[in-house]
Structure 1
């Protein structure tokens, strides 16, 4: 309990992380409660087109070229962005941890094979790789999550491999091996628990990157056409960028704010999990 208390104290000292937590908590609450907060769907044409923010109290952020409420689109778009970020980061982190632990602990042919596969993935431009997978699977939230998750695990794999190599040579792991513990038990009970902290921090970075990638795909017209996303809002707004720049700028600001908040939260988690980071 004292270790957790010290971790919370270190986290609380990082004011940016605390603010980021509040911002993300509010965003998540709004995203979950979107159907209850807004009566109309994000695609519904509810007002006069090209209403600037502050013009009509019914539409605080204005309307787009089709008369759709931008505030409703922002809140519904948060559902897609957060879902993609969380799911893709979970998949890539899980793959990276599995590959890194197996490669670092067992070594030999397993290490050689996994590192060659890792290098193969790293040689491919990530966005081009994701675009190819989404185009093959057909654009949808699921295909976007799968594409991002299966192309973003290499950084985590290398990080966990390095941590596993260090932990494998530690005295407590050698003692566990001498006591006759099976390799699987040693990996789960000792190696994984001590190596997972940096993976969690890296996962927050991957979540922010996944949100940016989803926005880029939607901007290019490869997003799920059945859901409203921040990237698709920016893509639609580029057609009237000179006359109604706010249509693209507002969802763009939402992306920047969310990614910055996730990055700051990752730094806070680093303080929470690693006492050396606060020194």
Structure 2
């Protein structure tokens, strides 16, 4: 457990600060969306259809980022769209990590029949294109945020399991693991006190990457209509604006830019976090 006690080298860790700042901002926006949004995200105004952003000619200061084809305020819809994105990102990535890491450790440490069974299940899931599997699942269960979260879990746990399994297989042959087993330390204690701290850095990197993938999956499934129709989502905004790309490109540009910024920030955050918790990178 010594590696868990290392102090985070926060000074000079610009990636961690940048990514953490954007993630914190996302959480605050999701919480404060009802107070930050200038309008109701579902309120329609046919007199204000496809208004450009306020700094463009013909823009309205009451609609800072413009409006969509139904006259709904784009800024308000983006702010409220952080709520389903945050829910899918955190819940989907956390559940994927929990399932994948647990199965990966079992398969890598115990080997034999346990490894064979888990590996066959892993191969079955990885044989299907991830997004196709998510779409089929969403079509079977029906639309809704819970469906999107389950789709993220179904396609995300395999990455954790495959990587952690390989890491554990390499670790269990190390001298300190063999010494722990030789003195009679129980398997659960070996896993918790010796193996888990050493796979923590790669787990945190995978978790950060999975959060970024979860945002993209949520946007894709929302785009094709498998998210809740009563909730403003970034993918739903893109779907609504694709028919008006020639006359109102800002409806598409705004949510796409937000998604890109979020994914890049999460990647930076997980890179910085790995540097903070990995003693090898610290040296």
- For residues 67 and 157 of structure 1, the distance between their equivalents in structure 2, rounded to whole angstroms, comes to 46
Q: Is the CA contact (8 Å cut-off) linking 1:77 and 1:229 kept in structure 2?
A: yes
Partner of 2:22 in structure 1?
23
2:100 matched to 1:100?
A: no
Partner of 1:111 in structure 2?
115
Q: Is the CA contact (8 Å cut-off) linking 2:52 and 2:67 kept in structure 1?
A: yes
Q: 1:263 to 1:180 in 2, by over 3 A?
A: same
2:138 matched to 1:134?
A: yes
Partner of 1:50 in structure 2?
50
Deviations 1:106-146 (Å, cap 9, x if unpaired)?
00011111111111111100000000111111111111101
2:171 matched to 1:167?
A: yes
The 3-state SS of whatever aligns with 2:71 is: coil
> TM-score, normalization: structure 2?
0.91
How far did 1:40 drift? Answer: 4.0
CA RMSD of aligned residues (A): 2.0
Structure 2: give runs of 5+ residues left out of the alignment: none
- For residues 193 and 131 of structure 2, the distance between their equivalents in structure 1, rounded to whole angstroms, comes to 36
Q: Which moved more, 1:26-35 or 1:101-110?
A: 26-35
- For residues 276 and 7 of structure 2, the distance between their equivalents in structure 1, rounded to whole angstroms, comes to 4
Q: Which moved more, 1:130-139 or 1:183-192?
A: 183-192
Q: Is the CA contact (8 Å cut-off) linking 2:88 and 2:145 kept in structure 1?
A: yes
Deviations 1:131-175 (Å, cap 9, x if unpaired)?
011111111111110111122111211211122112212233223
- For residues 106 and 4 of structure 2, the distance between their equivalents in structure 1, rounded to whole angstroms, comes to 29
Q: Is the CA contact (8 Å cut-off) linking 1:31 and 1:76 kept in structure 2?
A: yes
Q: Is the CA contact (8 Å cut-off) linking 1:52 and 1:61 kept in structure 2?
A: yes
Decide which of 237, 244, 251 is 1:233's aligned counterpart.
237
Q: 1:113 to 1:5 in 2, by over 3 A?
A: closer
Q: Is the CA contact (8 Å cut-off) linking 1:160 and 1:196 kept in structure 2?
A: no
How far did 1:185 drift? Answer: 2.1
Q: Is the CA contact (8 Å cut-off) linking 2:6 and 2:277 kept in structure 1?
A: no
Q: Is the CA contact (8 Å cut-off) linking 2:78 and 2:255 kept in structure 1?
A: yes
Partner of 1:151 in structure 2?
155
Structure 1: give runs of 5+ residues left out of the alignment: none
Partner of 1:38 in structure 2?
37
The 3-state SS of whatever aligns with 1:8 is: coil
Q: 1:114 to 1:5 in 2, by over 3 A?
A: closer
The 3-state SS of whatever aligns with 2:165 is: helix
How far did 1:188 drift? Answer: 2.1
Q: How many residues align?
A: 277
Q: Is the CA contact (8 Å cut-off) linking 1:177 and 1:186 kept in structure 2?
A: yes
Pairing of 1:57-76 with structure 2 (within 5 A): 57-76=61-80
Decide which of 188, 213, 222 is 2:226's aligned counterpart.
222
